[in-house]
């Protein structure tokens, strides 16, 4: 058998890779006829771009256990063959509803190839066949959208004055909106971080005024959720239970703002909001656990220096992956001379082993079970004796999950038939799922399957971010939901109101897309070779070096993105010295991932946070 030439090998590899990735939707990225090249140059192979319909069909057909491998293959096929559609905000939403990750969306956006265009060539062929002579001599590249946007230059921030009425009194405050350049040792700007800082007016000595840095998660999420859902002086008006109201959407004064007891700085990490790397080739260094912590840490250092707030009481608040970041920052920044009075973690994940449904890792099945029970309780799917008192029910479920269920899963195939049946009966009692479904799932209930199965008889799904929310799929027979109804309920109101607010009220006018959730972040490097990412050790180390630091953890009972029992597990396995256990408080809310979209939980969160900050400040007396 003869060997393959490099061109043949590349063409064959592309076709095989695309065929593997898109096998469920019968797509193969096969070579098309060669384009006619300029005289003296080799022919360029053109490949059929992937269609949006095929991408969506493939995503919806992925089985949970093959999801990671399938997404990787699909992203590789898109990078090789391109896509024939432009990723507009509406298309991004459709892809995400089908299960696309931020990496996949970024790959599609970067590899849009309109009909009739050829795939990118190698650098050498581009210069020899297409570029003018000046390109070969290193001409200055064209400016990027960030470089062309006047608002994203290293200009002074925009400062505006405002006031609201809360609790029968007027709160006057200043908002500083702008970008903070991150520079290398040579003084060259490598990234710009967008931020919004709220400071109360007329408070006297700033050294006595608490300062809190806030961010959300993702990775790939802007700070808008905490900013305009809970902490800031303005919030998005939702229905009282957190459901989406009819459009058009509105901002209202937030009587539960935290600005009356702390100044607030909302940070959009690189790749979120308006924050961007200065050049595309620099972006990947910020798209990882350590690069993200270092860049946000550098922003905090610069903010403290430029605003002379080094001696203020300092706090961090993060949500979701923002809790991963906050925990990592606590350990990173104390090594750079910045110690925090307190850290607030809302919807916590520090140890990713607790949330990764993978072969050989039974931990998530145990730790998600109480949240399954809470959601089944909410939808009245449990036996009558478990429907009376949620907290009492969860106590029973937690005890069994941490003991008999853990042992049963550890036994594996050594379970006797009677032991197996006992586990099936218990899971049926605690989840409301059929015994046949539990048996067919090998006693292990994966999150997406639960979301689809619980209300299948009603032809409804439940939300991942908030299990109270119901969704309607195209087909009731599919294995996993088409989309997360709890995410679909919040994205439009927050997107619309923020984009209007930042221009009309804060005076920051950029034409860049504000990346609310996804779109700006590529493949994320968790820095965990053959292990699971875990920043709980950084938090433990910060406690050991700063025993005055306090920790508040807020958990929603109906949150399947970061289940409360998993947060408990991590806190009890981080090795915190017993003398510091009193520094940690945990609070629970009858809500989901964004606990604050529920109006009652919003007020409860504000009360708990204010009490926490006051308690942390008592150490200074």
Domains of the chain: 6-136 (no CATH), 174-353+492-620 (3.40.50.1820), 357-483 (no CATH)
Query: From its phi and psi, is residue 68 left (phi > 0), alpha (psi between -120 and 50) or beta?
Result: alpha
Secondary structure letter of residue 598 according to DSSP: S
For Cα atoms 606, 171, 244, give the angle at the middle one, nearest 5 degrees.
50
Cα distances (angstroms) measured from residue 28 to each of 32, 103, 120, 532: 12, 21, 19, 34
Of the candidates 99, 102, 219, the one whose C-alpha atom is nearest the C-alpha of residue 484 is: 99
CB atoms near residue 118 (< 10 Å): 16
Predicted pLDDT of residue 621: 58
Alpha-helical regions (H) of 389-521: 390-400, 406-411, 417-431, 435-440, 447-453, 485-504
Prediction pTM value: 0.80
Question: What is the block-wise mean pLDDT of the chain (621 residues), using blocks of 10 residues?
Answer: 40 42 42 37 53 86 71 79 79 79 77 59 36 42 72 89 92 97 94 97 89 96 98 97 96 96 98 95 94 97 97 98 98 97 98 95 98 98 98 98 98 97 98 98 97 98 98 95 96 98 96 94 86 95 97 98 98 96 97 97 97 90 58
- Overall size of the chain counted in residues: 621
The helix or strand, by DSSP H or E, that contains position 52, with its residue range, turns out to be helix 52-61
CB hemisphere CA count around 242 (13 angstroms): 29
Distance, CA of 196 to CA of 277 (rounded, Å): 18
- Under 8 Å between Cβ of 349 and 320: yes
Q: How far is CA 430 from CA 453, 455, 587, in A?
A: 14, 15, 23
Beta-carbon neighbour count of residue 172 at 10 Å? 11
Cα torsion angle, 100, 105, 106, 112, sign: positive
Q: Which two tokens stand for residue 307?
A: 């605003």
Question: How does strand 314-320 pair with strand 211-215?
Answer: parallel
Q: How far apart are CA 18 and CA 28, in angstroms?
A: 5
Helices (H), 505-598: 536-545, 564-572
Instruction: Say what the pLDDT of residue 121 is.
Output: 43
| Unique residue bearing structure tokens 């095929």 | 54
Where are the alpha helices (H) located in 444-546, listed in sequence order?
A: 447-453, 485-504, 536-545
Phi, psi of 173 (to 5 degrees): -155, 165
Q: Within a 10 A sphere around the Cβ of 38, how many other Cβ atoms? A: 8
- Those residues whose C-beta lies under 8 Å from the C-beta of residue 467, and which sit 6 or more positions away, are 371, 374, 375, 378, 451, 486, 558, 559, 560, 592
User: Helix or strand or coil: residue 474?
Assistant: coil
Cis, bond preceding 248 (omega within 30 deg of 0):
yes
């Amino acid at each position: 058998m003869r060997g393959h030439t490099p061109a043949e090998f590349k063409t064959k590899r592309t076709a095989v890779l695309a065929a593997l990735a898109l096998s469920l939707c019968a797509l193969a990225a096969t070579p098309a006829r060669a384009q006619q090249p300029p005289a003296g140059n080799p022919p360029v192979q053109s490949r059929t771009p992937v269609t949006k319909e095929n991408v969506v069909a493939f995503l919806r057909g992925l089985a949970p256990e093959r999801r990671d491998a399938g997404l990787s293959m699909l992203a590789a096929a898109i990078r090789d063959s391109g896509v024939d559609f432009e990723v507009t905000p509406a298309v991004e939403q459709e892809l995400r509803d089908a299960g696309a990750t931020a990496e996949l969306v970024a790959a599609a956006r970067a590899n849009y190839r309109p009909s009739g265009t050829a795939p990118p060539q190698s650098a050498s062929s581009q210069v020899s066949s297409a570029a003018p002579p000046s390109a070969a001599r290193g001409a200055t590249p064209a400016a990027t959208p960030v470089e062309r946007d006047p608002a994203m230059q290293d200009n002074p921030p925009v400062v505006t004055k405002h006031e609201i009425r809360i609790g029968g009194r007027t709160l006057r405050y200043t908002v500083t909106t702008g970008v903070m350049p991150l520079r290398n040792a040579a003084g060259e700007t490598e990234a710009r971080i967008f931020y919004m800082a709220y400071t109360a007016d007329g408070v006297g000595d700033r050294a006595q005024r608490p300062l809190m840095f806030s961010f959300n998660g993702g990775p790939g999420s802007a700070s808008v959720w905490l900013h305009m859902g809970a902490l800031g002086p303005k919030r998005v008006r939702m229905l009282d239970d957190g459901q989406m109201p009819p459009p058009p959407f509105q901002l209202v004064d937030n009587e539960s703002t935290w600005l009356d007891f702390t100044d607030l700085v909302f940070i959009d990490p690189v790749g979120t909001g308006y924050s961007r790397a200065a050049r595309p080739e620099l972006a990947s260094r910020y798209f990882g656990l350590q690069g993200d912590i270092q860049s946000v840490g550098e922003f905090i250092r610069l903010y403290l220096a430029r605003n002379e707030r080094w001696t203020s009481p300092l706090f961090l608040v993060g949500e979701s992956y923002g809790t991963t970041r906050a925990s990592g920052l606590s350990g990173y920044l104390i090594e750079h001379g910045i110690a925090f009075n307190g850290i607030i973690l809302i919807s916590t994940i520090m140890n990713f082993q607790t949330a990764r449904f993978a072969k050989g890792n039974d931990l998530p099945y145990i730790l998600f079970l109480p949240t399954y029970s809470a959601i089944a309780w909410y939808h009245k799917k449990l036996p009558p004796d478990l429907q009376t008192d949620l907290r009492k029910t969860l106590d029973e479920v937690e005890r069994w999950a941490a003991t008999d269920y853990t042992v049963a899963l550890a036994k594996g195939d050594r379970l006797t038939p009677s032991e197996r049946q006992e586990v099936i009966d218990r899971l049926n009692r605690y989840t409301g799922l059929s015994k046949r479904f539990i048996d067919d799932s090998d006693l292990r209930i994966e999150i997406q399957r639960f979301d689809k199965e619980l209300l299948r008889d009603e032809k409804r799904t439940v939300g991942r971010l908030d299990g109270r929310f119901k969704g309607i799929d195209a087909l009731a027979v599919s294995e996993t939901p088409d989309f997360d109804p709890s995410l679909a309920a919040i994205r439009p109101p927050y997107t619309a109101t923020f984009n209007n607010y930042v221009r009309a009220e804060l005076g920051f006018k950029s034409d860049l897309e504000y990346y609310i959730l996804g779109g700006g972040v590529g493949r994320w490097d968790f820095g965990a070779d053959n292990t699971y990412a875990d920043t709980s050790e950084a938090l433990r180390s910060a406690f050991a070096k700063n025993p005055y630091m306090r920790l508040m953890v807020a958990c929603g009972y109906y949150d399947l993105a970061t289940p409360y029992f998993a947060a408990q597990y991590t806190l009890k396995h981080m090795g915190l010295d017993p003398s510091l256990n009193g520094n940690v408080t945990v609070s629970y809310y009858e809500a989901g991932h964004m606990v604050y979209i529920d109006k009652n939980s919003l007020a409860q969160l504000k009360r708990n946070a204010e009490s926490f900050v006051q308690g942390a400040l008592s150490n200074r007396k």
